[in-house]
């Protein structure tokens, strides 16, 4: 005699229940599989997005135009397996959306101070071409980028300082600086470049650095040009700060606007104007200290 509560289902109902369980578990399994696949795809896309952002960041900091940054990042993202990639480039940050099938992911990264480094730019472009052709893994791309950033050859700081000194003195000759001021400009600019390098290495603000270097270089140049008997002290003082004039960003800003990236182009143009303003403040103070002009 069955006890109360000991309810045993009839055999037909049991069969239906077990069939229902099987269907349910196969549905659950399918759901889990698809969720796992989704998560896996999501993780893969995240790796692709992060590696692509690293490529875009390095291109930006080495002075590439926005169009090059966009083209390079698309090559890398598609080469790594994404089906589509859209980059948004700002002055201080980059955001990318990569997708494959119904999955998409958006990630963002800061850029850091923008400069000009031609050999690094070429090396990163070479990597982008290889990824597009051979399809490396995201981890390999990130590792290679870190190695490029560390190991791309650079000219020694003393050579850069001397070369920039000679370049600015030559530039000065182009707009009429006399021979007596030639050497003072070289020495003032070389010293200014050494100070700029030191300050930027210590993380100093780029605008403040421009004003300090402009003041010191033009002060030194004005004094030594006066002492060497130059008749073009004013022009020599201007030549001594030409190393600070952001020529490449000025040209890039125009190209960016022309090529359909007005936000980045405008931001670059504003930063160029700001740097010119800080250079002028430095030179004006030097002129006041030396008693030249207003």
Partner 1 sequence: MTIDYLHLLHQTLFGALAASGFGILFNFGWRELLWCAGSGAVALTTRTLAQDAGWSLEAASFVAAATVGSSGRLLRSHLGMASNALAVCGCIPMVPGSFATHAIFGLFALTAPSAQNATLMMTTTVEMLRVAFTIGAIGAGLSMTTHILRTRDF
Residues that bind partner 1 (CB under 8 A): 63, 68, 71-72, 75, 116-122, 125, 128-129, 153-155, 159-160, 163-168, 170-171, 173-175, 193, 235, 238-239, 241-243, 245, 247-248, 250-251, 254-255, 258-259, 276-277, 279-280, 283-284, 293-294
Max CA distance (Å), the chain = 126
Of the pair 44, 256, the CB lying nearest partner 1 is at 256
* Least distance to partner 1, CB of residue 139, Å: 23
**CA atoms of 274 and 46, how far apart (whole Å):** 37
Closest CB to partner 1 among residues 4, 174 = 174
Three-class secondary structure of residue 246 per DSSP? coil
Q: Residue 57 or residue 65: which is nearer to partner 1 going by CB? A: 65
CA distance 171 to 189: 12
Between 53 and 75, CB nearer to partner 1: 75
Q: Which is nearer to partner 1, 105 or 233 (CB)?
A: 233
Distance CA(161)–CA(163), nearest Å, equals 6
Work out the angle at residue 72's Cα, subtended by the Cα atoms of residues 68 and 75, and round it to the nearest 5 degrees: 145
Question: Which residues, in sequence order, are CB contacts of 76 under 8 Å at separation 6+?
Answer: 51, 52, 55, 127, 128, 131, 132, 141
> Around Cβ 90, how many Cβ atoms within 10 Å?
16
Q: C-beta of 39: minimal distance to partner 1 in Å?
A: 33
> Which C-beta is closer to partner 1: that of 105 or that of 221?
221
Q: What's the min distance (Å) between Cβ of 174 and partner 1?
A: 5
For the CB of residue 35, give the shortest distance to partner 1 in the complex, in Å: 38
Closest distance of CB 38 from partner 1, Å:
33
**How many whole angstroms from its chain centre is CA 133?**
24
Rounded to a whole number of angstroms, the minimum distance from the CB of residue 72 to partner 1 is: 7
CA pair distance 276, 241, nearest whole angstrom: 10
């Amino acid at each position: 005699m069955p006890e109360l509560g000991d309810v045993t289902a009839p055999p037909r109902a049991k069969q239906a229940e077990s069939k229902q369980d099987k269907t349910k578990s196969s549905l659950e399994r399918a759901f889990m599989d698809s969720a796992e696949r989704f998560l896996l795809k999501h993780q893969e896309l995240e790796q692709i997005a992060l590696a692509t952002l690293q490529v875009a960041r390095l291109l930006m900091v080495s002075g590439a135009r926005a169009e090059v940054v966009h083209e390079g990042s698309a090559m890398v993202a598609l080469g790594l397996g994404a089906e589509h990639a859209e980059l948004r480039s700002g002055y201080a940050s980059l955001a990318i959306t990569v997708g494959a099938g119904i999955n998409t992911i958006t990630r963002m990264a800061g850029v850091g101070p923008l400069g000009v480094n031609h050999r690094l730019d070429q090396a990163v472009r070479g990597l982008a071409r290889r990824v597009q052709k051979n399809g490396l893994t995201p981890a390999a791309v990130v590792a290679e980028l870190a190695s490029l950033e560390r190991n791309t050859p650079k000219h020694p700081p003393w050579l850069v300082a001397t070369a920039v000194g000679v370049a600015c003195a030559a530039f000065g000759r182009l707009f009429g600086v006399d021979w007596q001021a030639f050497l003072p400009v070289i020495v003032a600019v070389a010293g200014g470049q050494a100070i700029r390098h030191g300050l930027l290495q210590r993380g100093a603000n780029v605008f403040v650095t421009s004003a300090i270097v402009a003041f010191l270089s033009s002060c030194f140049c004005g004094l030594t040009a006066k002492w060497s008997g130059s008749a073009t002290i004013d022009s020599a003082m201007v030549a001594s700060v030409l190393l600070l004039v952001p020529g490449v960003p000025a040209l890039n800003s125009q190209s960016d606007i022309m090529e359909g990236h007005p936000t980045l182009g405008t931001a670059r143009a504003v930063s160029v104007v700001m740097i010119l303003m800080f250079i002028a403040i430095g030179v004006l103070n030097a002129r006041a200290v030396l008693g030249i002009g207003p």
